[in-house]
Amino acid sequence: MTAGNGLEGRLVFVTGGGSGLGAATCQLLAREGAVVAVADLDAGAAGKVARAAGGSAFAVQVDVGDETSAPAALEEAAERHGGLFALVNNAGTDQTLPIDELSVAQWDRVMRTNLRGPFLLSRTAASIMKRSGGGHIVNIASTAAKRAWPNAAAYHASKWGLLGLSHALHAELRPHGIKVCALIAGGMRTPFLLDRFPDIDRSTLQDPSNVAQTIKHVLLQPEGTAISEVMVLPVRETSWP
């Protein structure tokens, strides 16, 4: 992993990299010279993004909730590329149902991706980064971690949990030179929203590339500074005052 303060030659592992914010982040960081692992459950989508990103981007098929294969994929990437500069826990899913219609299996699926995955990968990233003297973990939360609306109990629980995990890791890992940031993103023009809510007003949403710029900003803070939480909203955000 190349030394220095920039992204050039440094490994950034992005989950959910096959679409939406993950894809925008991979493309931006690859243009900045980072070695980008485009990690996604959909191997075809990950490969497509990696090819489009160019540079040193490469695809990795990852089920973030699998306690054996997900950490192993992160370890392998870090070993191959001389360390790990940053982990971006971006993979997410939702189940929009009233609580009395939400099955245990659906609840577990949301928690597995949105909270168990970041725990598993952050645990492995912390171990790798402690050996190398530091790094970054960026957890992609949501305004759903700050307020609530109907028919999204599992999603809210997972994102509030992710926000708590992020701040706990910030306190625990900062003495080791590991900076942990919760990035709270408002609505974006991504398949996550557009595919489920085709009638949504796109003018109230932000381009995911704008949020990717904030991720880059977090990763490029000076050595003595950490951003523990940042909120990025569209100007016409409807889920936040």
Q: Which residues are catalytic?
A: 155
Q: What are phi and psi of 180, to 5 degrees?
A: -120, 125
DSSP state for residue 83 in the 8-state scheme: S
Q: What span, in angstroms and rounded, lies between the C-alpha atoms of 164 and 172?
A: 12
**CA-derived radius of gyration, the chain:** 17
Q: What is the dihedral of CA 134, 55, 2, 18, to 10 degrees?
A: 10
**Amino acid at the residue 158:** S
Longest dimension (CA), the chain: 53
Q: What span, in angstroms and rounded, lies between the C-alpha atoms of 130 and 153?
A: 35
Q: What are phi and psi of 3, to 5 degrees?
A: -75, 165
In sequence order, the β-bridge partners of residue 59 are 38
* Helix/strand/coil percent split, the chain, to 5: 45, 15, 35
Hey, is 224 helix, strand or coil? coil
Q: What span, in angstroms and rounded, lies between the C-alpha atoms of 165 and 153?
A: 18
Tell me, rounded to whole angstroms, the distance of Cα 42 from its chain centroid: 16
